[in-house]
Each structure stands twice: as C-alpha cells, then as structure tokens.
C-alpha cells in the first residue's frame, strides 16, 4: 500500500493525538535539557518508565480537558485556555506519578516549571499556524471563485461525482460524509471521509464548506428527508443528483447537479411493478390517449412509447400541448407510428373518424377539466367535458371493439363536494355500468394530486416564492394526497393490466400531506425562511373544497388486489335504462344551456349531492355540496 493511501486511512483525530503525544515527549526532554544547561557538570539521566508515565498522564489530561473536541482549523482563545489548563494540571499529575514511582529520582524540581511553558508553546503554536494557513488558503480559493463543497454520500455515486468535479474549476471537494462504518477515516480520490451524516453540521463548519452536494440517488424518501433536514441545519446551500429511476427513465443524466425538488421529499419509494403483464397489455397494441398533451396524459404517452406500442394516437384539444408532445415523441421514438389529432373528445364526428381510421385497441381517457374553484361556476362546461366527453369516447370504444378502456379519475369523485368531483363521479358510474353491456373491459383508476402537474399547488407555490410571497393556503389544517407523475402513470398502466372490467381501482397515495407543511418545505428549499422572508397567508376554504380527501366511498368496501399499491372498490350498480335516460336529458339541457335542468339531472344521479348558491369575490355564482352524510 502506498504512503498516500496509508495516510488516507488515518483518522484526523488519531493524527492530532499522535502529534500531541510527540510534543509531550519533546517538551519533557527539552525541559530537562534546559534545567541541566544551567549546571553542565550534572549528569542527565532518564528512568526506565519516565517517558511512558509522562505520556500516559499528560495524554489522559489532554483528553479530559476536551482539547480533542475542537478543530485546528478554528483554533482560538478557548483552545489556548484548554491547553494552558492541560499543561499545568499535567505537570502536577506527572510530578505526583513520578514521585510514587521512584521519588522523583533524576528529575529536578525546576523541570516542572519549565515543562508547562514548553509544552504550551509546542501545542499552541502549530494550531495557530494551521489556522492561519487554512484562512489564507480559503481567501485564495475565494479570490479564484472556487467553491468548497462537501459530498454527502461516499458510495459509488459520490465517488464518480468527486471525479467529475476535478474537471470543474468552480468546485473544490474537501471531503465526504457517510454513515457506513467501513468508510470511517477512509480517503476516496484523495478526499477524506470526515464523519457521519449526523455530524454534517459540525463537520461542514469545521471544514469551512460553502456548498453541500447530496450524492444518494438510491436513497428512500425518508432517508432523503433526513438528509435534507441535516443540510437545512447547516445554513448552507445544497444540491443533489437525480434519482436512479429518473436516470433510468431518461428524465435526467447521472451526476447532473440540480436543486433538491419537492418531488424528492414527497415522492414515495419506488414500487415493484409487473412489467411483464404491462407489456402484454401494451406491446404491439394500437393505443389511444385522450388529453395526451396534459401532465398525466403526456407521461402516459412517454411510458407507452417505451413499452413498445405498435402505434400511439394522441387526442388533444390544446394546439400547443399537442405540438409539444408530438415534437418530443417523434424526437425520442422515431420508430413509433404516431398520430396527433387536434380535437375535443366530446366531438362525436371527430372522434368517430379517429376511431374508424386508427382502430385503437387500448384507450386511456385522461382528458378532463380539473380546476375545482373555476368549475364551481361552470357546471355546463364541466359536465360536457368530464361526463359527455367520457360518454362519447366510451360509446365509440364499445362500438369499435376496443379491448380495454381506462378512465383516469380522481379522489374528488368520492363523496363529491364540488362540481368537478360530481362530474367525475358520474363519468365513473357510466363506465362501470357500461362494462356489463360491452365486450370492452371498462375500468377506472382513481388517485389524488400529482406533484407539479399543470394547475396544481406546487407550481403555484413555486411562482409565489419567486415573486417574493406571500404563499396562499386556504386553511391551516387542509391536507392532500400526493404522488409523482411517473409513479401515478406506472400504477395506471399496472391497473390496466390486472383489470377484468367494471372495477374502480384506487392507488395507494401513502400518507396525506398538510399543505401548510408543503409550503414551508418549498420555502426552505428555495433558501428562504417560512413566515419571515416568505409569509404564508390563509385565505379560507373555497367553495367545493374539502379539508381532507377520500379515496373510497364508505359503501364501496375496498379490498386489496394482487399489487400492494392498488386497491379495488366494489361495484355499485345503477339502472342502465335510468342512467341512459338521465344522461340523454342532461345532454339536451347542455345543448340549450339549461343549467337548472342539468343540476336536476346530476342530483338524480347523485342523490347525496345538494346545491346551494354562494357569492364569490368576482360576483359569480358557485355551487357547493351540503349534507355529506348520505350515500349515493
């Protein structure tokens, strides 16, 4: 083993102790030599155990005084005081020990006066000199705009990151922290492992670190939260490298330094999927996605393309969204047969033409209006898009022999308190009951909020932070379920592979998150202090808004499925003739803009849903639900 590697395995504290013991022996020898220098005729003698006793006593006292809890880099007056105490008490202890050993044979009394002075100088001067050198070096680095960074995580990712940073003149790696006992005191690429994760604030301060780089791509969400909390405690800026699943999915490059995103803290650990069953559902199939340019729809398109679909048809009413997903898919999957259709899924003629020409085998219906407060005053628009649009696509799927139809729904359809939730619940009822009258397998997948989706709270908070605040939260106790867009889409694909028809699948959303906590964490990630630098303002619950979301109606008696993250709600039947009659009447009401009749139709379909008019700040009329105890 080379000398450099050997030195790398020596812990810094061991080196400090070795230095101090060597200085102790040297100080004792110098003190005796100075004493005998006044009387050269006297013979200098050293007893057999004299030096071992001196080293043992002084070493114990140096440790007892707490000298080794300090760091040379920040040597100051408290450290000099500890040295002064240690050498004086050490001289007394050594004198007593040598007296008991051999009655101070060959040790002049003057030695005990000279020894503390010599040892104090030998211990203090190197520490002060080291601090002066480090301060000078730090100023030199700052003048060259080189940032001192510490890597959190000394595994393979951290090692590769440290090698990459050698080629970047903006950063100077000072070391690592890691919890692995085997790495304690080790050196990686010439950089020492300085401590454990829990010691991060102390080590970062001692090493004069200016930035922290988290290199833990395989860390669980709980581990990531712990690390970020420790980084927050240092007061230093910190960055991270992408998660393994993002690298594998092609959403990021390995060792690409980025800011810690809220997804890194609110996402959940990667789930195990039955990719064989998913591929059997999608590979070599013609797949159609409505709303394919939206947050969920576009990610579904990406994953479907990766799984080897024969062709992908995207129906999107936003010209810009369709253009964007078209450009992306054609660039990333040039071999994919792709067709983009600019149309509203409720346009029967356009959808019929699309079905006849493309002959889809699997459909993911993600098109929907989803903004709860906005839709409160837009019953007709919400019903036409979320209910009648779903009915149009579902009926065409049955008529053209589509194998599988998946409705993307929401937890707001459970005990709905809003127009948006009520319309999604009606769409669920239609697909559930249509399944009994078709060869197509109709199923529904229900989940909560997805992080960073268009119109969600995360991008809103991010913009409010950029604007300097305040962040607006409707209620201090409001909470929501969250999952990442990729995870939601993967579980949607998994549900499609296990569904037999007629089911409502609900995705395991984990624990609900308080929106207040979400806001505070996002403020901290932006390097600000919640409540002071970025205030949080509570505006009150909006019409149709719940404090807590639900994933199942009490009467649905949900049960487990073969996948741990997917649950099944029991089917609740509605008379098919009554359902068709009410939807036909609602269609006529929507055509002539008769919202009163439309309300009556929704109330007939959802008996527990009640309407009441409430004034809004912009003088429009909104609708909210009362009497939530009743079941549908």
- The arithmetic mean of pLDDT across residues 278-292, rounded, is 90
- The arithmetic mean of pLDDT across residues 343-347, rounded, is 92
For residue 144, name the pLDDT band (cuts at 50, 70, 90): low
For residues 619 and 392, the model is more confident at 392
- The pLDDT assigned to 300 comes to 92
- The arithmetic mean of pLDDT across residues 256-281, rounded, is 69
Residue 270 confidence (pLDDT) above 60: no
For residue 408, name the pLDDT band (cuts at 50, 70, 90): very high
Q: Where are the alpha helices (DSSP H) in 147-220?
A: 156-165, 200-206
Q: Out of 65-74, 159-168, 380-389, 452-461, which region has the weakest mean confidence (pLDDT)?
A: 65-74
Q: State the sign of the Cα–Cα–Cα–Cα dihedral 205, 206, 212, 215.
A: negative
- The pLDDT assigned to 63 comes to 79
- The pLDDT assigned to 564 comes to 67
**Taking all residues of the chain, what is their mean pLDDT, rounded to a whole number?**
78
Residues 6+ apart with CB under 8 A from 275: none
Do 365 and 387 form a contact (C-beta atoms < 8 A)?
no
CATH number listed for the domain at residues 145-260: 3.40.50.720
The reply to whether domains 145-260 and 275-624 share a CATH topology is yes
Q: Catalytic site residue 370?
A: no
- The pLDDT assigned to 470 comes to 85
* CATH assignment of 275-624, among 2.60.40.1260, 3.40.50.1370, 3.40.50.720, 3.40.640.10: 3.40.50.720
For residue 5, name the pLDDT band (cuts at 50, 70, 90): very low
Q: Out of 96-110, 290-304, 597-611, which region has the weakest mean confidence (pLDDT)?
A: 96-110
Residues 6+ apart with CB under 8 A from 81: none
Do 273 and 498 form a contact (C-beta atoms < 8 A)?
no
Share of the chain above pLDDT 90, in %: 19
Q: Out of 49-58, 220-229, 241-250, 534-543, which region has the weakest mean confidence (pLDDT)?
A: 241-250
Residues 6+ apart with CB under 8 A from 27: 115, 118, 119, 122
- The pLDDT assigned to 559 comes to 65
- The pLDDT assigned to 60 comes to 84
Q: Residue 117 class from Cβ within 10 Å (0-12 exposed, 13-18 middle, 19+ buried)?
A: middle
Residue of 180, 353, 370, 412 marked active site: 412
Per this entry, what is the length of the chain? Answer: 632
3-state secondary structure of 537: strand
- The arithmetic mean of pLDDT across residues 407-432, rounded, is 88
Q: Is the peptide bond before 125 cis (omega within 30 degrees of 0)?
A: no
424-450 per-residue burial string, b: 16 or more CB within 10 A, e: under 16: bbbbbbbbbbbbeebebbbbbbbbbbb
- The pLDDT assigned to 624 comes to 30
> For residues 420 and 369, what is the distance between their CA atoms, to the nearest angstrom?
7
What is the reported pTM?
A: 0.62
> For residues 305 and 249, what is the distance between their CA atoms, to the nearest angstrom?
12
All structural domains of the chain with their residue ranges: 3-135, 145-260, 275-624
Q: Where are the alpha helices (DSSP H) in 442-504?
A: 457-466, 485-498
578-617 per-residue burial string, b: 16 or more CB within 10 A, e: under 16: ebeebbebbbebbeeebeeebbbbbeebbebbebeeeeee
- pLDDT tens track for 554-584: 555 666 666 666 777 766 677 888 889 999 9
């Amino acid at each position: 083993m080379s000398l450099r590697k050997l030195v790398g395995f020596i812990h810094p504290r061991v080196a400090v102790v070795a230095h101090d013991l060597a200085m102790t022996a040297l100080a004792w020898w110098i003190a005796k030599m100075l004493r005998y220098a006044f009387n050269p005729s006297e013979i200098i003698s050293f007893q057999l155990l004299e030096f071992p006793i001196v080293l043992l006593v002084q070493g114990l006292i140096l440790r007892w005084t707490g000298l080794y809890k300090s760091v040379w880099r920040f040597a100051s007056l408290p450290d000099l005081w500890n040295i002064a105490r240690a050498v004086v008490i050490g001289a007394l202890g050594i004198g007593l020990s040598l007296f008991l050993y051999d009655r101070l044979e060959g040790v002049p009394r003057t030695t005990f006066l000279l020894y503390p002075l010599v040892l104090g100088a030998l211990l203090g001067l190197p520490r002060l000199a080291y601090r002066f050198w480090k301060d000078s070096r730090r100023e030199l680095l700052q003048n060259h705009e080189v940032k001192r960074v510490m890597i959190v995580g000394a595994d393979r990712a951290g090692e590769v990151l440290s090698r990459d940073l050698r080629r970047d003149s903006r950063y100077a790696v000072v070391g690592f922290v890691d919890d692995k006992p085997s790495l304690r005191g080790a050196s990686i690429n010439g950089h020492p492992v300085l401590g454990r994760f829990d010691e991060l604030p102390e080590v970062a301060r001692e090493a004069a670190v200016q930035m922290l780089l988290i290199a833990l791509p395989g860390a669980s969400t709980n581990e990531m939260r712990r690390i970020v909390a420790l980084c927050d405690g240092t007061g230093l800026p910190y960055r991270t490298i992408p998660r393994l699943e993002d690298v594998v999915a092609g959403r990021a490059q390995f060792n690409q330094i980025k800011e810690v995103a809220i997804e890194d803290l609110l996402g959940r650990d990667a789930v195990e999927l039955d990719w064989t069953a998913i591929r059997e559902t999608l590979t070599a199939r013609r797949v159609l996605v409505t709303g394919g340019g939206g947050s969920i729809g576009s990610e579904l398109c990406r994953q479907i393309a990766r799984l080897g679909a024969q062709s992908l048809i995207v129906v999107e009413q936003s010209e810009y969204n369709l253009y964007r997903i078209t450009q992306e898919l054609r660039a990333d999957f040039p071999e994919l047969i792709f067709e983009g259709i600019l149309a509203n899924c409720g346009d029967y003629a356009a959808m019929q033409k699309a079905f006849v020409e493309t002959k889809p085998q699997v459909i993911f219906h993600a098109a929907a209006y989803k903004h709860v407060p906005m839709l409160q005053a837009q019953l007709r628009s919400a019903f036409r898009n979320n209910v009648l649009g779903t009915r149009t696509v579902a009926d065409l799927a049955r008529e053209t022999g589509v194998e599988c139809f998946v409705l993307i729904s929401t937890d707001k359809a459970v005990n709905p308190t809003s127009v948006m939730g009520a319309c999604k619940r009606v769409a669920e009822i239609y697909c559930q009951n249509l399944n009994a009258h078709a060869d197509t397998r109709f199923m529904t997948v229900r989940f909560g909020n997805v992080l960073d989706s268009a119109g969600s709270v995360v991008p809103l908070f991010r913009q409010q932070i950029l604007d300097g605040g305040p962040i607006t939260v409707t209620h201090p106790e409001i909470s929501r379920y969250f999952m990442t867009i990729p995870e939601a889409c993967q579980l949607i694909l998994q549900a499609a592979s296990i569904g037999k028809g007629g089911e409502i699948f609900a995705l395991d959303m984990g624990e609900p998150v308080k929106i207040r906590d979400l806001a505070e964490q996002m403020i901290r990630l932006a390097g600000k202090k919640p409540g002071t630098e970025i205030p949080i303002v509570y505006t009150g619950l909006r019409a149709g808004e719940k404090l807590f979301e639900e994933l199942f109606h009490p009467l649905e008696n949900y049960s487990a499925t073969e996948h741990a993250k997917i649950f099944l709600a029991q089917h609740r039947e509605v008379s098919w003739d009554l359902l068709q009659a009410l939807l036909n009447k609602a269609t006529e009401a929507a055509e002539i803009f008769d919202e009163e009749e439309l309300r009556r139709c929704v109330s007939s379909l959802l008996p527990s849903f009640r309407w009441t008019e409430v004034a809004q700040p912009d003088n429009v009329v909104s609708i909210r639900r009362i009497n939530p105890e009743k079941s549908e």
